[in-house]
Structure 1
Amino acid sequence: MTGAIRYQSRRFRPLVAAICLGAASVLSAPALARGPDGIADVAEKVIDAVVNISTSQTVEAKGGSSGGDRGAMPQLPPGSPFEEFFDDFFKNRRGGPGGGSRGGEAQPRKTNSLGSGFIVDTAGIAVTNNHVIADADEINIIMNDGTKIKAELVGVDKKTDLAVLKFKPPAKPLVAVKFGDSEKLRLGEWVIAIGNPFSLGGTVTAGIVSARNRDINSGPYDSYIQTDAAINRGNSGGPLFNLDGEVVGVNTLIISPSGGSIGIGFAVPSKTVIGVVDSLRQFGELRRGWLGVRIQQVTDEIAESLNIKPARGALIAGVEDKGPAKPAGIEPGDVVVKFDGKDIKEPKDLSRVVAGTAVGKEVDVVIIRKGKEESRKVTLGRLQDDKAVQASAKTKEEPAEKPVTQKALGLDLAPLSKDLRTRYKIKDSVKGVIIIGVDNASDAAEKRLSAGDVIVEVAQESVANAADIKKRVDQLKKDGKKSVLLLVSNAEGELRFVALSVQ
């Protein structure tokens, strides 16, 4: 056996030498190839401010269950790349297969989970993710030295997945960290993640900023920092630091088929976190600005119809009667391109900046109306998160007796009679020309227009009958326009803009 080992050693000696040479070449490269030297200094300075978040929850086990209760998990959009990861994670943390009660008896049981967080005030204030503490009966903060302290919930914001905790500081002085400016982060800049992956305790990883303002469709205010710093299960709620030791983000999500880090992690930027934390500490709830409009994307076709070059901004599809935008003179068809001095490139830009603006503040809003820029002053209201919008289910039925129709744009159009209102359950407040048929091969079908929709305006002018629509479409063709902009209402009166080809 010994001879065999010596033989293999001699046999692989050239390979080892080659590897050593390669290592020598790497070592001769600049030190920055291994990352900046300041990482150790930053970690040493902030490690005591990073805490583990331990939660427990009593759940009722269903009799005869063969798997653990999933418990509370983050609400993610269907088909999200994170669904599989969180399904896996929460199933495992609640007990996994075999975690059900024996003999079919439903016995309450206590489940535990661990996450990460960080101290922002030596008076005993910590920040973490909402999904780390969601539905917990008891929350404990575990310091870097192992000290365990019971914590209370100050408030949560589900839309940004953030939570603020308070606890009684121990005799030993606490270390708190400060927030940095996430807006100043550059692509390729080094960042450091510290947290509690797989319950291992304070773990430091480093990487770069891979992307900024990343929208992953997990919420209305998505603007994540993407990083390749290793983030794993248990890192949720932990801080992402810059090389000055400032918190620039809160580690929240990863993309991973296995649940382990593959170098694609996401952190809520400090710009968002600061506003949420301040509001939760002051009011115990989040108070967001409210404009009182419904918005949609400005597509290339819509931009061409509105004489906007290049396509940009947020198109106002509807204005609430009791909202702040109404008295300011903002109307459907306006395109918001600047809000409170900030450029609006797409609808989510407007959602984020409005939500982050103080309630009651008067702001300047720049709109484009019929190809010209105009300015409006708006005093923001407060968004009521408890105003749940219930989408009414509507059953569209084909009329028993087909009315007289006229064709245009691949649509069968008819006057909005009393009979059609009843059949399609259209509110009395909705005015215009009703669609009772759509050519499946038309642009209208591709844009999801359907029977029961009502055309309210064509090229930003009201229409009362099908002849009006045909006349305006014919005129646009003569003028050399490629598309026509329709303002369309559903049965409930909710409006949206649709651009259809006139060629």
Structure 2
Amino acid sequence: MQRITRYLSLWLMLMMMAFAAQAAQARELPDFTELVKQAAPGVVNISSTREVEQRAMPFGEFGGEEIPEFFRRFFEDQMPPGHGQGGPGRRQERQSLGSGFIISKDGYVLTNAHVVESADEIVVRLNDRRELDAELIGADAKTDVALLKIEGENLPTLELGDSEQLEVGEWVAAIGSPFGFDHSVTAGIVSAINRTLPSDAYVPFIQTDVAINPGNSGGPLFNLDGEVVGINSQIFTRSGGFMGLSFAIPINVAMDIADQLRADGRVSRGWLGVVIQPVSKDLAESFGLEGPQGALIAEVAPDAPAAKAGLKAGDIVLSVNGDEVDRSSTLPRLIGRVDPGSEVTLELMREGKRITKTVTVGDWPSDEMPMASAQDKDDSRTRLGVMVAPLAKEQLEELNLSSGVRVEQVAPGSVAASAGVRPGDIIVSLDQQDIDSGKRLSEVVSRIEGNRAVPLRLYRDGRSLFVALRLGDQED
């Protein structure tokens, strides 16, 4: 009996120690109750109404397009009752629900641009259930930031933090209206910073594992001090809902945009006038770099700032005013934050040598670079495994090219096929040598010795790009 009693006492002691350890661990976890009490009044629900063309294939109940896996901007987008019975092509009223937050006592509100895109009416609902009409001061699609204005005095505001001080692993929380459930709170940690997403080159996103769903768009992301450090904007999803990857616009970026929208109603950002692409391992070798780095200029727009400064296709931008361009997505951010009219110093890799160029940065134009197409002509063959055709002078002028031959056929398994060359591509240069005929292409190929990668410049679908060709050793 005494032995059983000793065992029971030991078991109870171990259980008490385990409970104590769990309690100590629980005490170390963050408590968001005070943060929510202080911040909730400054978080708002945003409802926008617009007329749209009815779509035949909606994505569930939220009106998005059915794409199995992608970065999704998320806001609840629904047809009001009685508006879903018309046929295709019928104009209907659609309501979108998102989130936002008040940044000034006189009623300026930040949210996402996609929440209020094409809205005919915007209504902001406060924490105390007041509903106020909002005026759109301005929106910037490139950063997905919009600034609204509601009428009021001494409105509850949120304290803004410094997103540059964020560190991976620290706790953050979000307040928003997922699926229309106002002022829902979720929490997690910062998973990564300075994350680049497709088609969003101007935003160094904050990645978190905070649960974000449709309706959270435009809502604030808080640090443990209750300061706003980001605007929740996108998720990566296969289902349309939360899967553990959420992305927020840093508040420093958002406030810079908001200040410009408030002052001018538009955003001005630096512009070079170049088309860039990433530098792969093979391209790095072909251009004489020790490893993949920088932004490879595939095309320079005529009369653009880059052209006036002497930049050329094939240049690799390694730094801007001393700031390293570690990957191609870094360049638009560095140039975009430069005031138009200012000078920047670029370090370039050109033909295996490092040089510097000073460029007077321009203002981002409203129109994109023109698209063009080419026509087929006569054939010629090269050992690359392609059949090419020359281009007339008029065709080259139309495409704004000084040289080039059109690829008509690509042999399966050939060097060109392995590099991704396609029929319809225009070969502009090889190994930084202009190509104006099939004969010239063959001559350049014949002079390339050894198993080394060389850069091939193509013109495809109105844009220039580089690919790396590895020709292998010459055969006797």
The equivalent residue for 2:3 is none
Given the alignment, which residue of 243, 246, 251 partners 2:227?
246
Which residue of 1 is the match for residue 70 of structure 2?
Answer: 81
Whether 1:44 aligns to 2:37 is: yes
Partner of 2:264: 283
Change (3 A) 1:229 1:473: same
* Residue 500 of structure 1: aligned partner: 469
SS at structure 2 position matched to 1:183: helix
1:140 partner letter: V
The equivalent residue for 1:408 is 383
Unaligned runs of 5+ in 1: 1-16
- The CA deviation at 1:501 is 1.0
Q: Distance in 1 between matches of 2:53 and 2:458?
A: 48
C-alpha RMSD over aligned residues: 3.7
Q: Choose 180-189 or 148-157, whichever is displaced more.
A: 180-189
Q: In structure 2, what is the equivalent of residue 485 of structure 1?
A: 455
Q: Secondary structure at the match of 2:306?
A: coil
Structure 1 residue 448: deviation in Å?
A: 3.3
- Structure-1 separation of matches of 2:228 and 2:130: 23
More off after superposition, 458-467 vs 114-123: 458-467
1:247-396 equivalences under 5 Å are 247-257=228-238, 259-385=240-366, 387-389=367-369, 391-392=371-372
Structure 1 residue matching 2:257: 3-state secondary structure: helix
For the residues of structure 1 that align with 2:89 and 2:409, how far apart are their CA atoms?
Answer: 55
The Cα shift of 1:488 comes to 2.8
Q: Normalising by structure 2, report the TM-score.
A: 0.84
**Pick from 200, 205, 217: which aligns with 1:219?**
200
What amino acid is aligned across from residue 100 of structure 1 in structure 2?
A: G
1:55 to 2:55 alignment = no
Query: For 1:352-403, what per-residue CA distance to the aligned partner results, in whole angstroms no more than 9, with x for missing partners?
Result: 2222222112111111112222111111111123x14554466x65x5xx64
Aligned counterparts, 1:426-441, within 5 A:
427=399, 429-441=401-413
Of 187, 198, 201 in structure 2, the residue corresponding to residue 206 of structure 1 is 187
Residue by residue, what CA displacement relative to the aligned partner does 1:443-470 show, whole Å, maximum 9, x if unpaired?
A: 3123332445443333223344444444
Distance 1:428 1:384, change over 3 A: closer
Contact 1:66 1:100 (8 Å CA) reproduced: no
Find the partner of 1:473 among 421, 433, 445: 445
Is the 1:56–1:137 Cα contact (8 Å) retained in structure 2?
Answer: yes
Q: Which residue of 2 aligns with 1:5?
A: none
Distance 1:132 1:148 in 2: 17
- Please give the alpha-carbon distance, in whole angstroms, between the structure 2 residues aligned to 1:215 and 1:77: 23
Partner of 1:11: none
Separation of aligned partners in 1, 2:364 and 2:241: 37
Note the C-alpha offset of 1:311: 1.2
Matched, 1:443 2:415: yes
- What is the TM-score when the length of structure 1 is the normalising length? 0.80
Aligned-pair identity in percent equals 37
SS of 1:326's partner is helix
How many positions carry a matched residue from both structures?
461
Q: 1:148 to 1:313 in 2, by over 3 A?
A: same
Q: Any gaps of 5 or more consecutive residues in structure 2?
A: 1-11
State the distance in 2 between where 1:269 and 1:68 align: 29
> Residue by residue, what CA displacement relative to the aligned partner does 1:425-480 show, whole Å, maximum 9, x if unpaired?
97585424444432121131233324454433332233444444444434331xx3
Q: Structure 2 counterpart of 1:181, which letter?
A: D
Q: Structure 1 CA distance, aligned partners of 2:96 and 2:184? A: 17
How many Å separate the matches in 1 of 2:189 and 2:168? 7
Alpha-carbon distance in 1 for matches of 2:57, 2:454 = 58
Contact 1:72 1:134 in 2 (8 A): no
Deviation of 1:127 after TM superposition, in Å, equals 0.3
Q: Name the CA shift for 1:482/1:136 in 2 (closer, same or farther; >3 Å).
A: same
Asked if 1:118 is matched to 2:101, the reply is: yes
Structure with greater proportional strand content? 2
- Classify 1:337/1:72 alpha carbon distance in 2 versus 1 (closer, same or farther; 3 Å): farther
Q: Please show how residues 14-163 of structure 1 align to structure 2 within 5 Å.
A: 24=19, 27-31=22-26, 33=28, 35-37=29-31, 39-57=32-50, 80-82=69-71, 89-90=76-77, 93-95=78-80, 99-101=83-85, 111-163=94-146
Contact 2:74 2:213 in 1 (8 A): no
Distance of 1:379 and 1:82 partners within structure 2: 34
For the 8 Å contact 1:249–1:270, the answer to whether it is kept is yes
